[in-house]
Amino acid sequence: MPMPPEPPFQHRPYDGSTRPFTVGLKPIGEETWLEPDQFLDAHLAEKERLFAQDLRAVFRAEEDTCAAQREVLDLVTDNLMRFHPLTHRVEAGSATVIGTGRRIAFGQEPALLTASKLVQEDLVIMREGPDGYRLVAASVCFPSSWRLSEKIGRSMSGIHEGVPDFNGARMGQVVGRLFENLATDQLVCRFNWSIYPDDNLHHPIPEGIAFAVTEESLARLFLRVERQTLRRLPKSGDIVFTIRIHHDPLAKLAEQEDRKRIASDLRSQLMDLTADQLDYKGMIRARDEIAETLERM
């Protein structure tokens, strides 16, 4: 049975409900932890391509993470079995992604890699260390302007080096306390967003908008929304961090019934970004043109 299409602009972190470069965590239920949608087959195919092309570029794991990886796989398969029977079937020793021809066997590769081949989310394991939580294992096929090879093994402060308002500011302290106090029965979610010049999922290299933005060229841009979740693994005590990419083509904006509100909300957040924040998002040159075009809409 095909899945009903998810509407564009499903998640709108730019609507004023959260502020960019803040923690902005909200509790979620187990049933919404993972988000399979009509792009499941395409996203998994892109993961397969990246795994085959250069596995170490998108998957890394320290040797003592095997048990934590299995915990993640157990959580993922249990969630798929309970809440996503239209897209996944879990059996003894394997899982099937329904309608795609994919049957993933367990035990033939690192468990985190197996889990990543079942879902659209990227999966990251964070472990407590002397300098705070650090990245010890990850399958990250769809990074937003960063490379896994440069982040593996690093602490939260190291991972976020160069991110405006994180290190030396309240945000880094809040994230540190969150990681320390997160209970095993808590699931929390936050969002990031930016505007990208294309809909490529794999974006390890920062790429700003280099062309002049008009109403015609605005339709070539994509809102890239990252939905991130956090939960503590019940046995190891490590934290699993998921990242799910949603692409909203701005070409579809004119078709939305509430397009005026979407354009207004997006413009307001763009205009509120500082120069450092705009530079980090790759929009320092194009912000005013985008804002003016959205205002005309």
Query: Is residue 295 one of the residues assigned to a domain?
Result: no
Q: 2-16, 17-31, 105-119: which has the highest mean pLDDT? A: 105-119
CA-atom Rg of the chain in angstroms: 19
Higher pLDDT, 255 or 111: 111
How confident is the model at residue 8, as a pLDDT? 83
pLDDT, tens only, 231-252: 999 999 999 999 999 999 988 8
Query: Is residue 266 one of the residues assigned to a domain?
Result: no
pLDDT, tens only, 52-79: 999 999 999 999 999 999 999 999 999 9
Whether residue 47 is predicted with pLDDT greater than 90 in this model: the reply is yes
Higher pLDDT, 134 or 181: 134
Whether residue 230 is predicted with pLDDT greater than 70 in this model: the reply is yes
pLDDT, tens only, 160-171: 887 776 766 566
Mean pLDDT check: name the lowest of 17-26, 63-72, 85-94.
17-26
What integer is the mean pLDDT of 94-107?
A: 96
Query: Is residue 69 one of the residues assigned to a domain?
Result: yes
Query: Is residue 232 one of the residues assigned to a domain?
Result: yes
Contacts of residue 18, defined as CB under 8 A and 6 or more positions apart, other chains included, come to 24, 190, 191
Higher pLDDT, 134 or 208: 134
Q: 76-80, 147-151, 261-265, 269-273: which has the highest mean pLDDT? A: 76-80
Whether residue 149 is predicted with pLDDT greater than 60 in this model: the reply is yes
Contacts of residue 213, defined as CB under 8 A and 6 or more positions apart, other chains included, come to 221, 286, 289, 290, 293
How many angstroms separate the CA atoms of 287 and 270, rounded? 7
Domain count, the chain: 1
How confident is the model at residue 282, as a pLDDT? 84
Percentage, residues of the chain above pLDDT 90: 63
How confident is the model at residue 100, as a pLDDT? 92
Percentage, residues of the chain above pLDDT 70: 95
What integer is the mean pLDDT of 117-125?
A: 98
How confident is the model at residue 163, as a pLDDT? 77
Query: Is residue 253 one of the residues assigned to a domain?
Result: no
Query: Is residue 177 one of the residues assigned to a domain?
Result: yes
Query: Is residue 105 one of the residues assigned to a domain?
Result: yes
The predicted model scores a pTM of 0.92
Residue 1 — very low, low, confident or very high, per pLDDT cuts 50/70/90?
very low
Contacts of residue 135, defined as CB under 8 A and 6 or more positions apart, other chains included, come to 124, 125, 126, 151, 152, 153, 154, 159
Query: Is residue 30 one of the residues assigned to a domain?
Result: yes
Higher pLDDT, 6 or 51: 51
Residue 27: in which H helix or E strand, if any?
Answer: strand 26-27
How confident is the model at residue 167, as a pLDDT? 62
How confident is the model at residue 207, as a pLDDT? 76
Q: What is the DSSP string of 144-173?
A: BS--HHHHTT-BHHHHTTT-TTTTTSHHHH
Average of per-residue pLDDT values in the chain: 90
DSSP, collapsed to helix, strand or coil, labels residue 179 as: helix
Whether residue 140 is predicted with pLDDT greater than 50 in this model: the reply is yes
Question: Domain span at residue 73?
Answer: 26-192+225-247
